[in-house]
Amino acid sequence: MDSQDNKRKWKNRDLVSSLEFALTGILTAIKEERNMRKHAVTALVVVLAGFAFQVSRIEWLFLLMSIFLVVAFEIINSAIENVVDLASHYHFSMLAKKAKDMAAGAVLVVSLLAAVIGALIFLPRIWDILF
Low-confidence ranges of the chain (pLDDT < 70): 1-10, 12
Q: How far apart are CA 104 and CA 96, in angstroms?
A: 12
Task: Check the annotation: does 20 bind a ligand.
Answer: no
Task: Check the annotation: does 81 bind a ligand.
Answer: yes
- Which residues are known catalytic residues? 74
| Residue 51 C-alpha from the chain's centroid | 22
Q: How far apart are CA 77 and CA 83, in angstroms?
A: 10
Please give the pLDDT value at position 14.
87
Q: Which CATH architecture has domain 33-130?
A: Orthogonal Bundle (1.10)
Task: Check the annotation: does 7 bind a ligand.
Answer: no
Q: Where are the domains of the chain?
A: 33-130
Model confidence pLDDT, tens digit, residues 10-43: 676 788 999 999 999 999 999 999 999 999 999 9
3-state DSSP assignment of residue 91? coil
* DSSP summary character for residue 92: -
